[in-house]
Amino acid sequence: MHRRRGFKGIGYHYYIRKDGTVHLTRPIERIGAHARGWNSNSIGICYEGGLDCGGRPADTRTPEQRTSLRLLVGQLLTQFPGSRVCGHRDLSPDLNRNGEVEPEEWIKACPCFDVQAEFGTPSTT
């Protein structure tokens, strides 16, 4: 999808296939093109899927993808201690400024699961 949209290469750094294979799609030293405003200091991970059969956003991760994602995030946190792990949707603007990005404020739904709950990183707010 990113290639079609004219990005140079793939905007994310990691891509996790349904079978759990992790692809390094962009060298980590190269600034990502995945989250406007956050690209210069973030690492992007994308998983294959994310839409249900009706084309609606959904958490479609396979058990293999969950395992790989957990391992990868663990490795990255070792490499970059103290980093915040969050989902694309969590970077949406907090429109009503109540300190929480709520579902009605999401500019996109991905990654379709609660990253903070799953990876147990404390909220920055």
Which parts of this chain interact with Zn ion (CB under 5 A)? 88, 110
Report, in Å, the least distance between residue 44 CB and Zn ion. Answer: 8
> CB–CB of 10/26 below 8 Å?
yes
Report, in Å, the least distance between residue 88 CB and Zn ion. Answer: 3
Report, in Å, the least distance between residue 2 CB and Zn ion. Answer: 11
Q: Which of 76, 110 has the CB closer to Zn ion?
A: 110
CA pair distance 12, 87, nearest whole angstrom: 13
Question: Which residue's C-beta sits nearest to Zn ion?
Answer: 88
Q: 38 is written with which tokens?
A: 């956050």
Report, in Å, the least distance between residue 53 CB and Zn ion. Answer: 20
**35-67 CB burial, b ≥16 within 10 A, e <16:** beeeeeebbbbbbebbeeeeeeeebbbbeebbe
Q: Which of 5, 97 has the CB closer to Zn ion?
A: 5
Q: Which of 38, 98 has the CB closer to Zn ion?
A: 38
Q: Which of 61, 88 has the CB closer to Zn ion?
A: 88
> What dihedral do alpha carbons 91, 98, 102, 45 form, nearest 10°?
20
Q: 119, exposed or middle or buried, with CB in 10 Å at 0-12, 13-18, 19+? A: middle
